[in-house]
Amino acid sequence: LSKRREQYINQRAVTLDGYHVEVAANIASAEEAEVAFAQGAEGVGLFRTEMLYMDRIEPPCEEEQFEIYRKALTAANDKPVIIRTMDIGGDKPVDYFNIGTEENPFLGYRAVRLYPEYLNLFHTQLRAILRASHYGQCKIMVPMVATLAEAKWLREIFNNVIESLKVEGVEHNSDVQLGIMLEVPSCAFIIDQLVRYVDFFSIGSNDLTQYLLAADRGNSKVEHLYDSLNPAFLRLLKHVVTEAHKAGAWVGMCGEFAGNPEHLPILLGLGLDEVSLSAPRILEVKEAISQLTLEDSKAVLEQALNMETSEEVSELLQNACQKKE
């Protein structure tokens, strides 16, 4: 590791014209939290918890989950940690959830859509996270929300769980924020309404790309359509960030798109509050941010939004990189 890059382990990433974007990590276990913070993460932008439910015959109990979330929050040392509630279904089946065989699993019974039927399991997870929230700066995020009704229902359940912890006298932080993933395109058009029930957003570019372009993220035959540099997708991103900020809400991005340093002019130009990526890329991304300006990035994004193909966008981004070097 070069000395130049190493300085970013304990340093925030700021552009040459003074703009800060939080660089956070995607993790799937408490151990990965420790690794991520050692590699310069300014927070955890996505703790995928479904791994806790997989490869076993019954779900993890409240105590088991509590210990895991507490460990992650302790490793964070008061930096923010966004814990995402279980995203089961789609490409992540789990035996004790009776999902059955579906013709279109990605359009089917997945994530938040399972919670009403498995309400006990959702309650257990919320209780475990809220109890752990006493030990750090924790936020809760729900995957695959598609409608305002879901957001409203989530807020109600969330408030009920907090109320019962209060009544029981169980330690927790009652100011924990409740957010949602922006990964179903419908949400992009109701952000002004969603903010009545949720506190923040994180763009899941993997699913958002798949659902916008109607191209299965795992099907190589439609790989050419599954393309996050498609100007239509970039326009959606622009719309989402603008609307979220207009509504006064924090908006980050935790899909793969955020983990590619070449995409930084777009990510910065959008004005995202945070990017969250796999830990090994954090220092590289922080270093790259510190060599760009917000002003140039905005100009690159503006150009990209008016292009016709992702190939043109890709070329634009490569040129932007070379100019910098």
313 CB-near residues (< 8 Å, 6+ apart): 229, 231, 234, 304, 307
How many whole angstroms separate alpha carbon 113 and alpha carbon 142? 11
**Size of interface with ligand PEP, in residues (CB under 6 A):** 10
Q: Does 49 bind ligand PEP (CB under 6 A)?
A: no
Q: Using CB under 5 A, list all residues that contact Mg ion.
A: 183, 204, 207
48 binds, among Mg ion, ligand PEP, none (CB under 5 to 8 A by kind): ligand PEP
Between vectors from CA 279 to CA 311 and to CA 299, what angle results, nearest 5°? 35
Q: Does 207 bind ligand PEP (CB under 6 A)?
A: yes
Q: List the one residue from 83, 99, 236, 254 that touches ligand PEP (CB under 6 A).
A: 254
Q: Which two tokens stand for residue 285?
A: 């991304």
Please check whether residue 267 is in contact with residue 20, taking contact to mean a CB–CB distance below 8 angstroms.
no
Q: Given the structure tokens 């945070």, which residue do they identify?
A: 274
Please check whether residue 44 is in contact with residue 274, taking contact to mean a CB–CB distance below 8 angstroms.
no
Q: Which is nearer to Mg ion, 7 or 108 (CB)?
A: 108
- Which listed range, 4-12, 16-24, 203-211, 277-285, lies at the site for ligand PEP (CB under 6 A)? 203-211
Torsion (CA) 37, 42, 45, 46 in degrees, nearest 10: 0
Q: List the one residue from 204, 261, 269, 271 that touches ligand PEP (CB under 6 A).
A: 204
Q: Which is nearer to ligand PEP, 66 or 226 (CB)?
A: 226
Interactions with ligand PEP, residue window 132-191 (CB under 6 A): 183
178 binds, among ligand PEP, Mg ion, none (CB under 5 to 8 A by kind): none
Going by C-alpha positions, the residue among 68, 72, 71, 19 that lies closest to residue 45 is: 72
Shortest distance (Å) from residue 183 CB to Mg ion: 5
85 binds, among ligand PEP, Mg ion, none (CB under 5 to 8 A by kind): none
Shortest distance (Å) from residue 229 CB to ligand PEP: 15
Burial class for 112, CB neighbours closer than 10 Å (0-12, 13-18, 19+):
buried
Q: Which residues contribute to the site for ligand PEP (CB under 6 A)?
A: 46, 48, 87, 183, 204-207, 254-255
